[in-house]
Structure 1
């Protein structure tokens, strides 16, 4: 299969951007799926800790990216579960 692809790319160099952008899109989609599957709100282990989000304190960072937010100064408003 790689021989066929390389033969096509040698005979039609205009296909190089197509392969580049399709490959980049596949890499970005795999990274996004990994980010969704490895977040703090996802539970893969149902037996040992079925609700891991209840053990997170108020000072834990929940968001992927925050601007001008210091989580260490936050205080917990609710009860412990």
Structure 2
């Protein structure tokens, strides 16, 4: 191999390694769904429960409760 070919291969290899070490642009907060109170419930899928379904129902109930409390405060 010539010196130029070797230099080009090293440059390409280095750029590939550096690009692999960069930050990912994807959504990294996919597991952070729902309310703070229900995040642990979502982790119950590891033991066989449908954690997302339970947490979604609980989130809806908590949201309805918050809305009701807001209406009661406005009525006072």
Q: TM-score, normalised by structure 2?
A: 0.38
Specify the structure having the higher radius of gyration (Cα): 2
Return the TM-score normalized by structure 1: 0.36
| Greater helix proportion | 2
